[in-house]
Amino acid sequence: MEQKKDLSLGDWLAEVAADPRRGAAEVVVEDERVDARALDADASRVASGLLRLGLTPGDRVAVLTPACVGSLQAWFGIARAGLVEVPLNPAAGSVALAHCLVRSRVRAVVCDAELVPLLRSALAEVGPGGERAVVEHLVLMGEGSVVGAEVPGLRTHAFADLLAATPGEVAGELPVVDPGSTAVVLYTSGTTGPPKGVRLTHRANVNLARHTVELMGYTAADRLYSVFPLYHSNARYCSVMAGLEAGAGVLLHRRFTASGFWQICRREGITAFNYQGAMMSILEKQPRWDDDCDNPVRVAFGAPCPAEIFEVFEERFDVRLTEIYGSTEVSLVCEMPPQRRRVGTAGQESPLYRVAVVDELDQPVPTGTPGEIVARPKAPGWMFSGYEGDPAATVEAWRNLWFHTGDRGVLDEDGFLTFLDRVKDTVRRRGENVSTWEVERVIAEHDGVAQVAAYGVTSELSEEDVMVAVVPAPGVELDPAALVEHCDGRLTAFAVPRYVRLVEELPLTPSQRVEKYKLKAEGVVPGTWDREAR
């Protein structure tokens, strides 16, 4: 196999842009488009402009925008400057955004003009220890003037001005960036605490993109499609970067539409797409047509596709699926490509990782016995380098020479891994991790709430829905609809509870910990308020 160069993101993009074939590959975001050569030039202009603001390599720059060509320019410009990108979820609540800004000590925010009110709210939040964000610069993206969009205390700049620099102004200003340095901090939903910032190096980003191309067999003849956001590793490295690495076209949409999915694939000549969460179940539930298999898609990549529809889906739509298991921290731990499969599992360990299943003492369990899934890389340059500002969490996750996923699974005699459930106190809803800690914190702030427990219950589509059991404050007649309204805007949209159950008391252990497993086992009982039934 050809030995690839060890590159930073900026140098990788320059290599792609200089290639006669790959340089013409386009990324289309909704109705905007940019090819690799133009993106390379734009990245240098953005990098130069950011450094001229007084930022220095290693500083954190948040990006708070919907997916757009501008967010791609910011992504690679920040990387080329040796700065560290912190992509944020535009649908997140102010509490979660404030935590990310504070934890990463963000110095500048590239923000879409329409999201400035959300940024203002996040900057006004005070952390549990009285911390506030220390942002200095606002780089405004979008139409119109910066006048009227300012945020008190921040110096405001126009993103368009960064892009206006000439090649002569940019030359000689950009630093040499070490591939082993941090490129990005991706915030994943916390489990028993606030969101954790996963630090990933330039090398890890490039390695994942290259491996995805090898795993899926992408070529310049392909066109990749993703409906996932650019603050997730899926769209960033397994779609955008994988596509450019292969010289393939990439199409990004901000929303998933089940009814129009296959029409889009036919119209746009899509040959590959990524999936996660309930996406496959939703597509399989769509009305059947005689021409379902008449589409250009040849492969799809992701998890999970339920075992009961796996082969039915492949036959119906004439597409081969590759299931994977992994996380932001460790990328692709297990893989199940079409030529090596056991339906219902996540496949065998990838060429990148060793995988084991262990007990509470980190001792390997016998084959076929459930335990916690742990992994460690076979070579350097694949894993995350730690949790942002949280060395204790890093040590806890990486102990006894294994990364602890917090997931329960079982390995069979041939090394195929079956995911069972989550050890962690989190809810997996439609491809997103929901922090029960964050849900509980926001609901507990409501004056009418005495106690609250958040947990997941099985969804009729796939994975889970968010449910809360709430003990009202004495003398309060609590309205579940008002409680959910209290969550809107403060919680990320996918974290707002679907179900609200009012109870007199919560089941507690002798040490006063809520026995959530009892609540989960009871499920959605009669009398539970359902947001989707209203």
CB 434 within 8 A of CB 466: yes
Identify the CATH assignment for 9-202 out of 3.40.50.980, 3.90.550.10, 3.90.1300.10, 3.90.850.10.
3.40.50.980
How far is residue 136's CA from residue 243's CA, in Å, rounded to a whole number? 35
pLDDT recorded at residue 431: 76
- Give the angle 187-388-362 at the CA atoms, nearest 5°: 90
What are the residues facing 140 on neighbouring strands? 111, 158
The listed CATH number (3.40.50.12780, 3.40.605.10, 3.40.50.880, 3.40.50.10310) that belongs to domain 227-237+249-422: 3.40.50.12780
Q: Mind listing the pLDDT tens digit for each residue in 189-207?
A: 654 567 899 999 999 999 9
pTM score, whole prediction: 0.84
Nearest to 293 by CA among 311, 271, 314: 314
Q: Assess whether the region 227-237+249-422 and the region 429-533 belong to the same CATH fold.
A: no
Give CB contacts under 8 A, 24+ apart, made by 440-446. 440/468, 441/95, 442/93, 442/95, 442/486, 442/487, 442/490, 442/491, 443/468, 443/470, 443/483, 443/486, 443/487, 443/497, 445/486, 446/483, 446/486
Predicted pLDDT of residue 1? 44
Helix ranges restricted to H, 1-107: 9-18, 36-52, 69-80, 94-103
Supply the pLDDT for residue 285.
Answer: 84
Mean pLDDT, the chain, rounded, equals 91
Number of H helices, E strands in the chain: 17, 28
- Closest residue by Cα to residue 193 from 492, 439, 456: 439
Neighbours of 374 (CB within 10 A): 27
The Cα 184–Cα 38 span in angstroms is 22
- pLDDT, residue 510, reads 45
Radius of gyration from C-alpha coordinates of the chain: 23
The span from the CA of 209 to the CA of 242, in Å, is 5
Strand residues in 189-327 grouped as ranges (E)? 196-201, 223-226, 249-252, 272-276, 299-303, 320-327
Domain-wise residue ranges, the chain: 9-202, 227-237+249-422, 429-533
Segments in 164-201 forming alpha helices (H): 167-170
- Nearest CA to 44 out of 217, 216, 173 is that of 173
pLDDT in tens, the chain (534 residues): 467 899 999 999 999 999 999 999 999 999 999 999 999 999 999 999 999 999 999 999 999 999 999 999 999 999 999 999 999 999 888 988 999 999 999 999 999 999 999 999 999 987 767 888 899 999 999 876 565 677 888 999 999 999 987 766 666 779 999 999 999 999 986 545 678 999 999 999 999 999 999 999 999 999 999 999 999 999 999 999 999 999 999 999 999 999 999 999 999 999 999 998 778 888 988 999 999 999 999 999 998 888 889 999 999 999 999 999 999 999 999 999 999 999 999 999 999 999 999 998 999 999 999 899 999 999 988 999 999 999 999 999 999 999 999 888 999 999 999 988 777 667 877 777 787 878 888 998 898 998 899 999 988 877 889 999 999 988 899 999 999 999 998 898 889 999 999 999 998 754 456 888 789 889 999 999 999 887
**What is the rounded distance in angstroms from the CA atom of residue 402 to the CA atom of residue 363?**
11
Cis omega (within 30 of 0) for bond into 304: yes
Which tokens in the block code for residue 161? 């001005």
Q: Which CATH number fits domain 429-533: 3.40.50.80, 3.30.300.30, 3.40.630.30, 3.40.640.10?
A: 3.30.300.30
Strands 84-87 and 320-327, how do they pair? unpaired
